[in-house]
Amino acid sequence: MGVVQRTTVDKRYGLLALKLQGGIKPFYYVFGGGIFMEISILIQCLILLVVAMLFGVRVSFPLYLLGILFAIISMYFWRSLAVLISIGIKDYRT
């Protein structure tokens, strides 16, 4: 939800065009906006690992890292899709 809102506001007030004309590539726009979500995912995964260890659940470290990688790639996929959708939105009410 926040991605669509942010991109729509950037587009509405000309900030998106200003950022793109200023030399920011679309990849960096998507990546830069996802940094805080990525940090949030990493913190949540760390908390889940600690809770799992407290309850005596065995965690395979390679699978744990693969899960984190999958979560981050999925987050950037959905963020990119949300940016593409929100670029097509004409006004904020839509």
pLDDT in tens, 33-42: 888 889 999 9
- Is there a contact between 15 and 9 (Cβ–Cβ < 8 Å)? yes
Band of pLDDT at residue 94, cut at 50, 70 and 90: low
> Which residues are within 8 A (CB) of 58 and not within 5 positions of it... i.e. 6 or more apart?
none
pLDDT classification of 1: cutoffs 50, 70, 90: low
**60 within a domain of the structure (yes/no):** yes
Task: Give the pLDDT band of residue 66 (cuts 50, 70, 90).
Answer: very high
The tokens 């990688």 sit on which residue?
A: 69
Locate tokens 């939800």: which residue? 1
Nearest to 30, CA basis, from 91, 77, 92: 77
**Structure pTM?**
0.76
Range of the domain at 45: 2-87
* Nearest-angstrom CA–CA distance, 90 and 74: 27
Largest CA distance in the chain: 53
Give the mean model confidence (pLDDT) for residues 24-33.
85
74 found inside a domain: yes
In a domain, 55, yes or no: yes
In a domain, 94, yes or no: no
Domain count, the chain: 1
